[in-house]
Amino acid sequence: MKVLVVGGGGREHALVWKIAQSPKVDRIYCAPGNAGIAACAELVPLSAESIPDLMAFAQREAVDLTVVGPEAPLIAGIADEFAANGLRVFGPSRQAARLEGSKVFCKNLFRRHRIPTADYQVFDCPKEAAKYVRARGVPIVIKADGLAKGKGVVVAHDLDTALEAVDDMLVKKTFGSAGDRVVVEECLVGHELSLKVFTDGESIVPMEPARDYKRAHDRDEGPNTGGMGAYSPVPLVSRDVANTAIRTVVRPIVDALRSEGIRYRGVLYAGLMLTNSGLKALEVNCRFGDPETQVIIPRLGSDLVDVLLATCEDRLAEVVVDWSSRAAVCVVLASRGYPASAETGIPVHGLEAAGAMDDVAVFHAGTSRGTDGAIVTDGGRVLGVTAWGDSLGAARKRAYEAASHVQFDGMQYRKDIAAGVTQ
Ligand code: AMP
Ligand code: GLY
């Protein structure tokens, strides 16, 4: 089989790494990939968002399966375009991906189907939104409807911040048309967790739970990022909690979509809050998480390609998906200035020593080859150093040991990934 993976971050490196282990696969392409992915896939110099070019490539090379990593091409309808041209693709259709592409669509679906979520109202008029914010008081949450590069959610603890968020989105148009409408919602309190599943729109197969770290600095300080590390399993997410999440949130979402004529095929990623009054849905993403994939995928015992094919072909119920009981920890090494900005072109040292360790995989998130052929930084998140072991403690120790071999000027990372988590 020939497989094309679309995307070029740590998530895609983990997917390519696992797909390369499948005996079914003869050739793997990755568009655009990165310098680390080049070790196990042929790089295709096409952006993850240039759907017509990707389709022309997949047709020309007779690609048997295309796996889409990032949300943007899914929301733009890559799955529909590929399917319409007879190409097999893993990832939800444009309609299904609206769960992530439009918070208004997602919340209204929750409401229509009585899926537990924070109480909310939708506004396109700034005056009306401000009036509602004043009436509800703080804390309150303001969300831009569309994709806003992870910056479209403001959890406001004072009125000024809330009103400013409304103004930024609806008046100043900081997020462009993604902020044409806003969701103003109740602020939930509790433990946040997420659950990712494979689904073919009928069967649901949960992945092992993973926790990510969104803040840039230790003790959850500093700005929000794409994710600075992750670990799996998550003691907080017991089998009971996971089953409840499937029964009360994930299953109802999949069924709600199907009842409205939308079949969800791919990864469904539910962001949840465990509150005093039960589990509530915060948001839905239509893809694998990053960096969570870097700890989940190494724990998958089954052939990933079998799972992906079964999902695309509505026969997920037929495959056995098994997971290793070992723990995995991923530490993200980021560039100076991340997340506000990122230096690029800085030489990265020590990759061989880190990669040579047993039970370690150094996934590349943002790297390229410099003019002299050496690996250099090429993004905010540069590497995801992942290790596994018999316990979270052992995996953590190994991940930090591997990370200690790597150096580049301005390298920053959190020292507290999976610290103090008892299994
Ligand atoms: P979202 O993209 O909707 O998940 O929002 C990003 C982050 O904002 C979440 O991971 C939560 O930490 C926080 N958040 C979103 N909605 C709420 C809410 N209703 N109450 C409290 N925190 C929230
Ligand atoms: N790690 C969070 C995400 O993938 O959205």
Q: Which helix (H) or strand (E) holds 127?
A: helix 126-136
Q: How far is CA 200 from the centre of its chain?
A: 19
What pLDDT, in 10s, does the model give residues 106-151? 999 999 999 999 999 999 999 999 999 999 999 999 999 999 988 8
Facing residues of 386 across strands?
330, 361
- Which mutation among 282, 283, 292 tests ligand 1's pocket best, with the greatest number of atoms within 8 A of CB? 282
Q: How far is CA 72 from the centre of its chain?
A: 12
Q: 125-180: which CATH topology?
A: Dna Ligase; domain 1 (3.30.1490)
State the distance from the centre of ligand 2 to the C-alpha of 72, rounded, in angstroms: 13
pLDDT of residue 150: 81
Task: Please indicate whether residue 228, judged by its CB atom, sits closer than 6 Å to ligand 1.
Answer: no
The residue-averaged pLDDT of 10-27 equals 98
- Which mutation among 106, 107, 110, 141 tests ligand 1's pocket best, with the greatest number of atoms within 8 A of CB? 141
The residue-averaged pLDDT of 202-208 equals 98
Contact between 36 and 54 (Cβ < 8 Å): no
Its CATH class, for the domain covering 2-91, is: alpha beta
Nearest ligand for residue 287 CA: 2
Give the pairing type, strands 221-224 and 215-217: antiparallel
Ligand 2 atom closest to 194 (CA): 2
Nearest ligand for residue 145 CA: 1
Contact between 41 and 363 (Cβ < 8 Å): no
Residue indicated by tokens 């993976």: 5
Task: Give the residue from 53, 74, 51, 64 showing the smallest Cα distance to 2.
Answer: 64
Query: What is the CB < 6 Å shell around ligand 2?
Result: 212, 227, 285, 289-290, 292
Mean pLDDT of the chain: 97
pLDDT reading at 171 higher than 90: yes
Domain spans, the chain: 2-91, 125-180, 191-318, 327-403
Nearest ligand for residue 187 CA: 1
The residue-averaged pLDDT of 386-394 equals 98
pLDDT of residue 130: 98
The CATH label, of 3.30.465.10, 2.40.50.140, 3.90.600.10, 3.40.50.180, for the domain at 327-403 is 3.90.600.10
DSSP 394: H
Q: 191-318: which CATH topology?
A: D-amino Acid Aminotransferase; Chain A, domain 1 (3.30.470)
Q: Which two tokens stand for residue 154?
A: 């403001």
pLDDT reading at 423 higher than 80: no
Ligand 1 atom closest to 271 (CA): 4
Residue nearest atom 3 of ligand 2, based on CA coordinates: 289
